[in-house]
A and B are shown apart, each in its own frame.
Chain A
């Protein structure tokens, strides 16, 4: 295990360190408030806080709220408390609003890192906020690889705004208001007899309160999986802008990228700042523009995330050209599994727009029997035109 982080002598004390840790978690996307910081302190008092493992377990129980966070927590804990015996200069965060809109803050992470590892007495000329911001991004910068391209260079803010409009219309088209079942509602078109009779017991069998029911609006949830492999790089711009717009327009939507592996980018794209969201996404899409393993990626999706996020009211949009390096039957098996969850599967293939296109790619041919719709999409205009098609699903 790596050594415990040292803290500078002028550090205000354990409470501030915990507050600093909470800020560190917040910078890394965990949604924690003041109440959690308070609870974390109380929790540490309950366990033997001198033992790192106990503290780790206690803080994990308090600070995480779902499986992804639970799994990421170990790394975040290590990067703050187990920083190879480095000296942490500042632990008290200042409100980070001054830098929160800085798209390029990840570039500073290296410099910050060098300062931290080198001299413990280096002048601390940056603000506390930049400090915490820098450590947050540090995890990602270590994974830099030559394959990665910055998606921010590909996507312009105007496109995101345009895509947002398209995505909003698509979302509206997918809203299915034709639920068969009626459920109790204060204002409804029919009487809810079962409830009325049950309720009338309270008044000796006289139905005094007339309760109503109506067909609820059943929201279709859009789950988008975007292929960012080398063969798709020409179209990536459009599709990624679309994803970014989709996430901003529809709070229930869910987005993933895949090339040789699958990454969930929903949380990153929820960032309030559109360009920073793209920045976070490009950090996560490490290896984009490389090979493609559509089948295994879809299989992984069907086995893991789909179990939580896909149900009979979901529409799974797959944005890919269908050129897979793996055996085609994996795609078929994955889609079959996905279909079993009751969702609609729509495959948007940019190549389909070509004049003589036929789905000859083995993967694409294998996927066809399991698709509810197979459409062309190269531009935002094409995506917008899908509105009519999707409404019919």
Chain B
């Protein structure tokens, strides 16, 4: 599969990828390397993993990172409760020793967490490690081992090697600088806000009912809004929300009714100071320019 094929396949599933992103994804697939995506919130980093799993018709395994995430929640844990019950049942049945031990430390009693689950699938899944910058640096070290060797060592059970290599996608919002060791192992792409044409294509793919003229107005409005000095710049998801809000209200032209436009801005502006900054006059001016 060439990258143009991949791009088309993604577009069929409703994801309009830039050329840069498509090439990087295709390389990640063919070279079996993790792909690190950085970019502002709301540019579609998480969505790409979901769409990719749909294109490849495979499972999406997601690991949401947070501060304090440790191996027990990311890799594996023994199902202690079940083990205890089994031991009790076994002792009542008069069964003891090695047999019980072997049984309770078998894979039946292992709770697979996302990383282990990802390498034990029959068909290679898409493993999404979301917001890796939120996890602690210690966790990055665990991740390095899993990502470079695709194996997990469990003391009681031995080493579990990957039955299939997952397609790994890491996303980061850049709240913390990632270690060089992790960056080195990954392919890298910085996802920008889409340009006008791309965003129009996204809108068309996601909300096919939007009329062409309104669609252009919506995209033009959001693009102009991104150039304003906002605390939280609206992303693609917000743009789609905005479009559905306008659709739901049955609006055909942005400049028609400024009061309604202002009330739908709640889908785009997510902080109090941003809402205060984009007054009806400013919104009207931007809408006028976009039209």
Interface residues of A (CB under 8 A from B): 31, 33, 35-36, 39, 42-43, 46-48, 53-54, 57-58, 60-62, 64-67, 70-71, 201-202, 204, 303, 307-309, 311
Contact = CB atoms under 8 A, between A and B. Distances in A.
Given A39-B33, A67-B174, A57 B180 contact: no
B3 A62 contact: no
Given A57-B19, A61-B188, A65-B183, 11 more contacts: A33-B184, A36-B184, A47-B3, A57-B20, A58-B23, A61-B189, A62-B187, A66-B177, A67-B38, A202-B78, A202-B80
B195 to A, nearest CB: 16
B38 A54 contact: no
Contact of A61 (B24, B38, B78, B81): B24
Contacts, number: 77
Contacts of A47: 2-3, 23, 26-27
A307 B174 contact: yes
B190 A70 contact: yes
A273 B23 CA distance: 38
B2 A201 contact: no
B72 to A, nearest CB: 8
B174 A308 contact: yes
B84 interface: yes
Interface string B6-31: 00000000000001100110111011
Given A61-B24, A66-B188, A43 B31 contact: yes
Contact of A46 (B30, B84, B87, B180): B30
B227 interface: no
A66 B183 contact: yes
Chain A contact surface mostly: helix
A31 B184 CA distance: 9
* Most chain B beta carbons < 10 A, residue from A48, A60, A61, A309: A61
B175 interface: yes
Contacts of B176: 311
Given A67-B174, A308-B175, A60 B27 contact: no
Given A43-B27, A57-B19, A65-B180, A201 B188 contact: no
* Most chain A beta carbons < 10 A, residue from B2, B26, B28, B35: B26
Contacts of B80: 201-202
A201 B183 contact: no
B31 A57 contact: no
Contacts of A48: 2
Contacts of A201: 80-81, 84
Nearest to B70: A184
A43 B26 CA distance: 10
Given A31-B180, A66-B188, A42 B174 contact: no
A62 B27 contact: yes
B4 to A, nearest CB: 9
Interface in B111-130: none
B177 A308 contact: yes
Contacts of B188: 61, 64-66, 70
Contacts of A35: 184
A64 B183 CA distance: 9
A202 B177 CA distance: 36
A219 to B, nearest CB: 12
Contacts of B229: 303
The 4 closest A-B pairs by CB, nearest first: A201-B80, A65-B183, A57-B23, A61-B24
A46 B27 contact: yes
A70 B21 CA distance: 12
Nearest to A201: B80
